[in-house]
Structure 1
Amino acid sequence: MSSGQSTTAYPPPSSAPAQPPIGYPTKESPQYPQKSVVETKSKGDGFWKGCCAALCCCCVLDACF
């Protein structure tokens, strides 16, 4: 590196704005998902049924052994 020239690992920044990669969805593209209404549904009482079933199994196994 004694020649006086400096080398850079990256190209100098350009004044043009950075463009997204080809195929990347943007707000202007028609594939951009529109905001939709999200409906939430109750999952039921499956957790409590499973919890009670596990507790019963533990009690039965404890009584058997």
Structure 2
Amino acid sequence: MDKKLMKVLKKLYHHSNGTYDTERELILYREEALTKRELELLQEHSWPVNEVVYITYDAHFRN
């Protein structure tokens, strides 16, 4: 993994940058904590922030 990307991800997903959403039972991270260049780097690597993907056992692991 790109070292610059890893640095940005550590900054984004730091515990102090998240807010727990009790309704959806997940942590949302503040993009505002990142610089414009850091956000561009995430876009270059197709890394969406706070994109929630719902995965079920039946849909993905059942034979």
Q: TM-score range by the shorter chain?
A: under 0.3
User: Which has the larger helix fraction?
Assistant: 2
Q: Which protein shows a greater Rg?
A: 1
Q: Which has the higher contact order (CA 8 A, sep 6+)?
A: 2
TM-score for both structures, normalised by structure 2: 0.23
